[in-house]
Structure 1
Amino acid sequence: MIHFNGVSKYFAGIPAVSDLTLNIADGEFTVLIGTSGSGKSTTLKMINRLIEHDEGSILFAGEEIRQFNPQVLRRRMGYAIQSIGLFPHWTVEKNIATVPSLLNWPKARITERVSELLALLNLEDHFRHRYPHQLSGGQQQRVGVARALAADPEVLLMDEPFGALDPVTRAALQQEIARIHQISGRTIVLVTHDIDEALALADRLVLMDAGKVIQQGTPLEMLTRPKNAFVQDFFGRSELGVRLLSLGNAGSAARRGEWLDEEAIPESMTLREALSQFIARQTDRLAVTDAQHQPLGVLHFTDLLRQKGA
C-alpha cells in the first residue's frame, strides 16, 4: 500500500529522516514509535504530503505520491491528530461530513454515513446536533476519528491521537480503533510514544531513532528478538515479562471445561491485566467469560508462566 524508498527530509540542513526504506502492507496496522525527535511524525506527514520529502520516493498504491494532487491524495487518506481540530461552529454531523461534502456526496448518503459512524464509535444519534464545546474530550476525539473515516479512505493516518486523554478514555478509544481495524481491514498507520499502546494495537512495530528505522517486526519479535541494546532499553529490560503478557488474552489461556461461581473477567482482558486481578483478589484462579458473557473457562495463575506472547 505504501512504500518508502531511500527517503530523506531535511530541516535547515539537518536530517529529520534519513535514507528511510519502509513497506506498509495493505490492511496492516503499523505503529511508528520512538523517542522525541526520532522522525516518526515527519514520516507520517510525508505520506499525505503535509510535509514534502526531499530525497527518494514514496509510493501509494504503486504511484509516486507527487503524481497526485495533494488535495486528492488527502481525500483518499483519513487523518486524525491529537488536537482533533474540529470546527467549533459546526455541529458534529457537519464536522463528520466535511470530506463527503467536498466530494459532493448526495445528502441522503451523507446522513446515512454519519449515522453509521456514530454507531461505530459508540456515540448516540443525538450527538449529531451538538457542537464540539458540548462534548467531552473523549467524545471530541471520537468525532475526529469519525471525520477521518467519513469518506471511507484507503488509509487512516493517526498522529498521537489519544495523547491528551485520561487513561480510562484512552484505553476505551484504543479498543475502538482495534475493533474498527478488525471490522474494516483498513490500512492504519499510527504514531505514538506510548509503548503499551503500540504493543496493544500494532500488527507491526517500526522503532525509529535519529530519523532511521532501528528495527521493525511484530510486537512479539521486538520483545523477544531485539536487534541491539537500544531496542532492549527502549522496551524496558525489567518490564519484558509483563509486556509479553500484554500480547496474550485471558480467553486464549483459559482452561475449558472448568468454572468458578465468582465474578468473572472477560476473554478480551490481556494477561497483563489478569495478573493485576490475581494480585488484587489474592487468588490463583479466575473465571473467564466469552463475548456473550457466557462461561468460557478458568485461568490459573500458573498458566501465566507458560505464556510466550501472542
Structure 2
Amino acid sequence: MERLLVINSFGPMASTLVAGLAEKFGYSNIPLRKLRLNKYISGDLSLDSGVMQNRLRENLEAHAKPTKSGGVSVIERDNQAPVRLVDIDRVRDRLHRMQSTRYREISELFSDCHETYSDAVIYKTPVHTPGWHIELCVDFHNFDPARLYDGYRRHFPQVHFIHLHRSFRDWINSLASQAMHQSRLKRRIKFFPPARYRDFQRYEHATSRVPGLHLGFDEMFDTPIEAFAERLASYLGLPVPDVDFRQESYDMYGKLRPYDVAFKRFDDGRSYLQPGTLDRLEAAVESGRIARFPMNLGLWADYVRDMSRYRRTIGEPGK
C-alpha cells in the first residue's frame, strides 16, 4: 500500500533532518519540491492540468546541471561546490509518456513523479519501498487546514503528518541569517521581521488545528537518536530500522551528511540578530504591538543595523 509522509514546516525548522531519518524507514527522500500538491488536494488544480508534470521536468532540468543544494543550512549550501543531482537522460522517455497519461488519482500522479525523479538520481543510490514518499510542505498555512487534511486522507491510501515547531526567538534569528547572506543588498533589506512574525503565527495556528506528530526543534537535537527513531516508529506504525543510526549518513535535500553533522545545531548560539533586537522583538510580540507603526519600522531598522554589522564582520560590506 502507498504511504505518504507530510512534513509541515515554515522557515528553518529542520524538516530535511526529519526527512533524512524517515528515509531509514523506507520512505523515498529526494530533493523534489513545489509540485503544487496542495493545490491539487484543495481543488485549485485539476488532475489533467499538467502542472505537476511540468514542475517535475523543471526540477529535473535544473538538477541535471551543477547546482548548490542541501546541507544543514542555507549558509552551508551556498558555500559548497555545485554538483549534478540527476541524469535526466535516464527518464526522458518516461517524462514524455507522463505528459499524455490520464491519471485517475492525485496519489498516482504524485507517486509517478517521485518514482521518476528517484530513477534519475545520481548523487546517491536511492533505496525505498515503492510508493512510499515524503512531501516537504511549506505552505500548509496558505490553505484551510481542516479541508486540506481531509483532502489528503481522501486522496492518499495512508498518510501521516508531522508538524515541526520552533521558538519564535530562535526561528527569527535563523531566518534573518538567511536574509543576511543574500548576495544582493535589495534582498537583504527587504527582510521585515513583523511580516515574518505574521507568517509564523499563521503557520502555528494552521498546524495546531489538525492531527499529527508535533515535534519541537530542540527535542530533535536533544533526544538521543535511538529514542527519536522509536518515537517516529511508534507514530508511523513501523518497526525501528535495524541500523546503527550514529554510523548512517542523512540526505539533507541532496547533500549526504554524517550523523554528527546532521544532528548538530548549526545556527543556535549564533546571534545574527543582536540580543537586544531579539528582546525587543519578543517584547513587541507579547504586547501585541509588533505590527503597529512606529514599532514595526523600528524593529526593521534594528534588523538593518544588525545585518550591516554582520556583513562587516564577514568582510562583505553592503553592495
Identify the TM-score tier after normalising by the shorter chain: under 0.3
TM-score of the pair, normalised by structure 2: 0.26
Larger proportion of helix: 2
- Pick 1 or 2: higher relative contact order, CA cutoff 8 A, min separation 6: 2
Larger proportion of strand: 1
